[in-house]
Amino acid sequence: MSTTFYPDSITAAPRTTRRAKTVLGRALQVLAICTAIVPFAIAAGPIPGTELKVGGQMIDIGGRSLRLVCAGPTGSSKPVVLFESGAFGFAGDWAFVQKQLTAEGVWSCAYDRAGMGFSDTSDEPRDGVNVAQDLEYLVAAANIPAPFVLVGHSMAGARVHLFANRNPEKVAGLVLVDSTTPDAMADSHVAKYVSNFTHEAHAASLTAQAGILHLLAGTALGDKVGLPPEEDAQKRHQFASATYNRTSYEEVKNWPLAAQQAAETGPLNTDWPVAVISAGILSADEGAQIQALQPPPAMASKHGFISVVDGATHNGLLGKRYSVGIVQGIDFVLGAAVAGPQARAKTVRMGIPFARG
């Protein structure tokens, strides 16, 4: 039976909803914003130029390369934590989580999908199967040892589901961070949200190609997570990139297909520990229903963990203040994977207190 655990300082989401679009909105809205904000964008300073500090390694996966950013001791006995970013995401989004895991002696790896961040583009459609194949090639080429704890944010919930069922022998558990499950796509609220999001991603792609997003990259829109300086500079650079926005649109456009491909692989193995971490502040009109559809993978697991991080937004959940909530879920899965079946029930009750700032 799945166990649901709420630490005392992690509470259910508030009834109110904060309407916060993940991308800029439709083209005319973007143009209106740009016209009004140009003086402020200039005052905020230019976006990072070509002198970016780009960490990690470029790994050849067969004629093209993907950027891989690993942190922590490689000799750890614990499973490697492998991150999959959400829409418009890249490896740098996990900087705060990786820093905390390193302090715990955990090896973790994040990467930029093809055409995202600093990875080479791909000629293949950006659906679930092609992205999963890229990740399979990457972990093999980089000699990252299995099993993995797979962590997926937002749209990546379907991606880690697909990867897990394609590679069951390589999975130690999953952590789903404010993500949508493959089955959630059948819900009308989720379908509406994804449709609207697709239009917004298309608008962002068009405005980026016109160079308009350079005007906004230096503002708060350029980094909604609140990343450390190095990753913040990378995020803002990507925010204005035509290639990055075009690829992001292709990924979002293929979101329903990726979810379908994941659903066709069947449910997750109930022996895998699963943690579901949700943002306490809903970021869309459909947010309440989207959040309500997040717990089932943990509820179906024999070793489930569910928490709602009070005060965190969808993107802010990855930031300095709230990322400890994600680490808490990872720690649960790592503990369950290492301790084994006989100790897993005890692991559930040993949740790490959530530090509120």
pLDDT of residue 26: 40
What is the C-alpha to C-alpha distance for residues 276 and 83, in angstroms, rounded to an integer? Answer: 14
pLDDT of residue 130: 98
Burial class (CB in 10 A: 0-12, 13-18, 19+), 331: buried
pLDDT of residue 108: 98
Phi, psi of 307 (to 5 degrees): -145, 150
pLDDT of residue 337: 75
What is the C-alpha to C-alpha distance for residues 109 and 147, in angstroms, rounded to an integer? Answer: 13
User: For residue 180, which of 82, 87, 281 has the smallest C-alpha distance?
Assistant: 87
What is the C-alpha to C-alpha distance for residues 125 and 105, in angstroms, rounded to an integer? Answer: 37
pLDDT of residue 317: 97
Dihedral, CA of residue 76, residue 79, residue 81 and residue 84, to nearest 10: 150
What is the C-alpha to C-alpha distance for residues 357 and 353, in angstroms, rounded to an integer? Answer: 13
Go through the domains of the chain in sequence order and give each one's CATH number. Answer: 27-348 (3.40.50.1820)
Residue with tokens 């997003």: 213
Query: Beta 65-71 vs 108-111: how paired, if at all?
Result: antiparallel
What is the C-alpha to C-alpha distance for residues 282 and 116, in angstroms, rounded to an integer? Answer: 26
What is the C-alpha to C-alpha distance for residues 70 and 145, in angstroms, rounded to an integer? Answer: 12
Burial class (CB in 10 A: 0-12, 13-18, 19+), 264: exposed
pLDDT of residue 343: 59
pLDDT tens per residue across all 357 residues of the chain: 333 443 333 333 343 444 444 444 444 454 444 444 444 443 333 454 446 889 999 999 999 999 999 999 998 889 999 999 999 999 999 999 999 999 999 999 999 999 999 999 999 999 999 999 999 999 999 999 999 999 999 999 999 999 999 999 999 999 999 999 999 999 999 999 999 999 999 999 999 998 889 999 999 999 999 999 999 999 999 999 999 999 999 999 999 999 999 999 999 999 999 999 999 998 888 888 899 999 999 999 999 999 999 999 999 999 999 999 999 999 999 998 777 665 554 434 333 333 332
Burial class (CB in 10 A: 0-12, 13-18, 19+), 19: exposed
What's the chain look like in SS3? CCCCCCCCCCCCCCCCECCCCCCCCCHHHHHHHHHHHHHHHHHCCCCCCCCCCCCCEEEECCCCEEEEEEECCCCCCCCEEEEECCCCCCHHHHHHHHHHHHHCCCCEEEECCCCCCCCCCCCCCCCHHHHHHHHHHHHHHCCCCCCEEEEEECCHHHHHHHHHHHCHHHEEEEEEECCCCHHHHHCHHHHHHHHHHHHHHHHHHHHHHCCHHHHCCCCHHHCCCCCCHHHHHHHHHHHCCHHHHHHHHHHHHCHHHHHHHHHCCCCCCCCCCEEEEEECCECCCCHHHHHHCCCHHHHHCCCEEEEEECCCCCCHHHCCCCHHHHHHHHHHHHHHHHHCHHHHHHHHCCCCCCCCC
pLDDT of residue 344: 57
